[in-house]
A and B are shown apart, each in its own frame.
Chain A
Amino acid sequence: GQQVMQIPQYQHVQEGEDFTTYCNSSTTLSNIQWYKQRPGGHPVFLIQLVKSGEVKKQKRLTFQFGEAKKNSSLHITATQTTDVGTYFCAGPGQGAQKLVFGQGTRLTINP
Chain B
Amino acid sequence: ETGVTQTPRHLVMGMTNKKSLKCEQHLGHNAMYWYKQSAKKPLELMFVYSLEERVENNSVPSRFSPECPNSSHLFLHLHTLQPEDSALYLCASSHGTAATNEKLFFGSGTQLSVL
Contacts and interface: CB of A to CB of B under 8 A. Distances in A.
Q: How many B residues touch the partner, as a band?
A: 20 to 34
B109 interface: yes
Contact of B101 (A30, A93, A100, A101): A30
Interface stretch (B42-50, B66-74, B77-85): B42-50
Nearest to B97: A97
Interface residues of A, number: 26
Contacts of A85: none
A48 B94 CA distance: 14
A90 B109 CA distance: 19
A98 B100 contact: yes
A100 B104 CA distance: 12
A1 to B, nearest CB: 11
Given A44-B2, A101-B43, A102-B42, A96 B98 contact: yes
A97 B42 contact: no
B90 to A, nearest CB: 6
A39 interface: no
Nearest to A91: B100
A97 B106 contact: no
A98 B41 CA distance: 17
Contacts of B106: 42-44
B12 interface: no
